[in-house]
Structure 1
Amino acid sequence: MRTVIFILVALLWSLPAWSAGLQRGEVTWVFRPQADPGAKEARLWIPYPPTTKYQRISRPEIFGNFAYHGVLNDVRGNLIIYAEWDLSKTRSPEMKVRYLVERKEIHPQDLPQGTAPWNPVHFAPYLQLDSELEGLSGLAAQITRGKTTPLAKARAIYDWVVENMRRDPKVRGCGRGDVSRLIKVKAGKCADISSVFVALCRAAGLPAREVLGLRLGGKEEAEITSWQHCWAEFFLPGYGWVPVDPADVLKALLIKKTNLSDPEIVRLREYFFGGLDPFRHQLAIGRRLNLNPPPEEPPRTFFMYPHLEIDGQAKDPLDPKGFAYQIYFRPLVSEEPLAR
């Protein structure tokens, strides 16, 4: 895992040198669920990436010996690949999902400093706070004191997160996003750090949301099974959704063993307020998604991992060997065809 982190940070530091603002490649998900003798049914939900302003998904292919599969969506529009197996007929279920991704770099831009009219009703899901976080408004008011525009408030919250939180490498996966706990311990992984930013924005009256994704490799083929990543977006009236990634600033800070005054950290801190590298792609938006069709057990808070159930019992997606799945990335140049 430490090697993976060094590779990712190196990609960020060398970004202007060779990326040309675009990453293109083939992503392949391979599943071979393991079931105990006597098991009757396996069901699998996989996040499927959308085509957006900054990424294009094409040439999807799905293979397997499933009894049924389909591409569905939840109430927020997130795409889900669903499959099920009758284990009385298929003792060795398998599935492969492959697609081409083209991801653009998002360059930090001159964002509007003023205010523009907007209707909070249209953004109600992105302003909602869990009941246990209603007291967060006091901290949000303290952080944004003296700031009168949405952009200034969002920047103050971003700076507070960067200056007050730290990356905790001992946390499993990307974290669980338990903000009430995180505000106290001020440490976590990417989903934790992004969730704190989102919660503080909402407490300050700014629409915000978590973005769930998967990192892409660089110039070489790579297994990216454990490369899930979470960042955030806030809504800026008169402009649209603005990406931020304080977690990657704190990751670089940890790996480089330096401080916030380091010139590279200063550069990354500015870059990740409004900018994103192309070495990632979006899988879903939001937390606690209502999967379609409904599973027997609720999935993890963040649907950037697949969800597998054997006879209604969920498997741990943070144990890909026990779960029996792998994800691979193969970079492509020009119009190189996908593998068969």
Structure 2
Amino acid sequence: MKRRTLITAGPAAGLLAMTPFASRAHADGWRTFEVVTRVEVTSPTGQVMVWVPLPLSQDTDWFQTLGNSVTGNFSVNDDVIDPNYRAGICSLSFKAGEAQPVIELTSRFRTRDRKIELKPGGGVLASAAEQAVYLKPTEYMPIDGIVRETALKATRGARTDLEKARALYDWTVENTERNAKTRGCGVGDIKAMLESNNLSGKCADLNALFVALARSVGVPARDVYGVRVADSKRGYKSLGKSGD
């Protein structure tokens, strides 16, 4: 499948348009996709920099990056890998005074469905080092104070990690709601959310809330974000269509 993303960045607002194309499947379940992201900066002032997310930097048994290429009138291209979560970012700088900064990033990758058995011995146990990464607090996701207090109340009586995760999921569903008026994807400041008792927001708020609650009671958890490139085989309307 090819998917084109056009982003026009200006001083006031941005435009995001996406168009899906054909896909290619393999007998072993792998499907290959190509995503093209074009960024045009209108009315630039001073030094212009552009950051574009890259596909997973580490291959897994369900996702493999095949390559990234970028064109445009930038002066410096310096890809960055986040040291904690290994997230890849295409970082581009333009010469001061560039009249119309523009870049086009093409990413090719392949992916396939996976299923995890939520029972003892049903999966591959992550190492202690791998789990430790997803137990640490962050600036906006503390795991002490009101966060841990809330998680302990929500998981009262739960003994295993799976029981705690289910209890926290149920608590999140029952106590939070999506707020369409929230700007962007939200900021994910969960301490402020809990202290104000305003448990509404968007993905970066609600996902981060669950993750921090889980980490605070010793359950490794992480946020996962991405761009939909194919329709859900299970028909989940909440996941949207690949052309949305």
TM-score w.r.t. length of structure 1: 0.52
Matching of residue 84 in structure 1 with residue 93 in structure 2: yes
1:242-266 CA-to-partner distances (Å, cap 9, x unmatched) read xxxxxxx8x84xxxxxxxxxxxxxx
CA distance in 1 between partners of 2:126 and 2:143 (Å):
30
Q: Which residue of 1 aligns with 2:216?
A: 203
CA distance in 2, matches of 1:87, 1:162: 48
RMSD: 3.5
Correspondence list, 1:248-327, <5 A: 252=238
Counterparts of 2:157 and 2:137, CA distance in 1:
24
Taking every aligned residue pair, what percent have the same amino acid on both sides? 28
The amino acid of 1:71's aligned partner reads D
Query: Which of 183, 193, 208 lines up with 1:182 in the alignment?
Result: 193
Contact 2:186 2:202 in 1 (8 A): yes
CA deviation profile, 1:274-326 (whole Å, cap 9, x unmatched):
xxx8x88xxxxxxxxxxxxxxxxxxxxxxxxxxxxxxxxxxxxxxxxxxxxxx
| Structure 1 unaligned regions, length at least 5 | 1-19, 220-248, 253-276, 281-327, 330-340
C-alpha distance 204-62 of structure 1, shift in aligned 2 (>3 A)? same
Choose the corresponding residue for 1:214, options 227, 230, 240. 227
- CA shift, 1:59, in A, is 3.7
Give 2:47's aligned residue. Answer: 41
The answer to whether the 8 A contact 2:134-2:215 is kept is no
Deviation at 1:198, TM superposition (A): 0.6
Q: How far has the Cα of 1:106 moved from its partner?
A: 3.1
Aligned to 1:237: none
Structure 2 counterpart of 1:261: none
Cα deviation, residue 29, structure 1:
0.7
Secondary structure of 1:170's match? coil
What's the CA shift string for 1:132-161, capped at 9, x where partnerless? 952222221121112111111111111211
Whole-angstrom CA distance in 2 between matches of 1:117 and 1:103: 21
Larger RCO: Structure 1 or Structure 2 (Cα < 8 Å, ≥ 6 residues apart)?
Answer: 1
**Where does 1:1-340 land on structure 2 (aligned, <5 Å)?**
24-36=32-44, 39-50=45-56, 51-76=59-84, 77-88=86-97, 90-112=98-120, 119=128, 123=132, 126-128=135-137, 130=141, 133-183=144-194, 184-218=197-231, 252=238
What secondary structure does 1:135 align onto?
A: helix
Q: Distance in 2 between matches of 1:138 and 1:113?
A: 31
The offset of 1:163, in angstroms, is 2.2
2:39–2:103 CA contact under 8 A, matched in 1 = yes
Q: Distance in 1 between matches of 2:66 and 2:133?
A: 32
8 Å contact from structure 1 (residues 182, 188) kept in 2: no
1:28 Cα offset (Å) = 0.9
Number of residue pairs aligned between Structure 1 and Structure 2: 205
Superimposed CA distance per residue, residues 145-189 of structure 1 (whole angstroms, 9 cap, x where no aligned partner): 121111111111112112222222221222111212333122221
1:197 deviation in Å? Answer: 0.5
Distance 1:117 1:73 in 2: 21
C-alpha separation between the residues in 1 aligned to 2:46 and 2:69?
Answer: 27
Q: Which structure dedicates a bigger proportion of its chain to helix?
A: 1
* CA 1:188–1:21: 2 relative to 1, 3 Å: farther
